[in-house]
Amino acid sequence: MNLFQYLRYRKAFTQQELADRINKSKAYISRVELGKRIPVFADADLIALQLDVPVELIFPQYIRRSRWPNWKEMMYLRSEGFNMDCYEQVVDSLERVGKRSERPARE
């Protein structure tokens, strides 16, 4: 069993149920699951959203070359319906760490 199948089973989706949720065919999901097809980013993001994981986890070919998306990219992707939660959580944690380091040193 590969990671894609495991994540699909974990959510208790059949191939048909997952296909219906992203408006694709069962055959499409099967080909993606077997590694015979790499979905376009929009489809990969929809699949990841349904499986509640970052898209990079199941489709490593979509790992960004830059460290983080800039704000303009994040807002554009969000407006297109892409799941940006994983990036927002990281940004929130970095902001909390930054605020702690800005505190004046105790004397």
Instruction: Provide the pLDDT for residue 106.
Output: 55
Number of domains in the chain: 2
Q: Are 16 and 41 contained in the same domain?
A: yes
pTM equals 0.60
Instruction: Provide the pLDDT for residue 99.
Output: 58
Neighbours of 88 (CB within 10 A): 12
Q: Are 58 and 80 contained in the same domain?
A: no
Tell me the CATH number at 5: 1.10.260.40
CA end-to-end span of the chain:
58
Calpha distance 64→101 (Å, rounded): 28
Q: Are 50 and 84 contained in the same domain?
A: no
Q: Are 44 and 81 contained in the same domain?
A: no
Range of the domain at 5: 1-62
Instruction: Provide the pLDDT for residue 5.
Output: 93
Q: Are 45 and 86 contained in the same domain?
A: no
Instruction: Provide the pLDDT for residue 55.
Output: 84
Q: Are 49 and 90 contained in the same domain?
A: no
How many CA atoms are closer than 13 Å to the CA of 21, on its beta-carbon side? 17
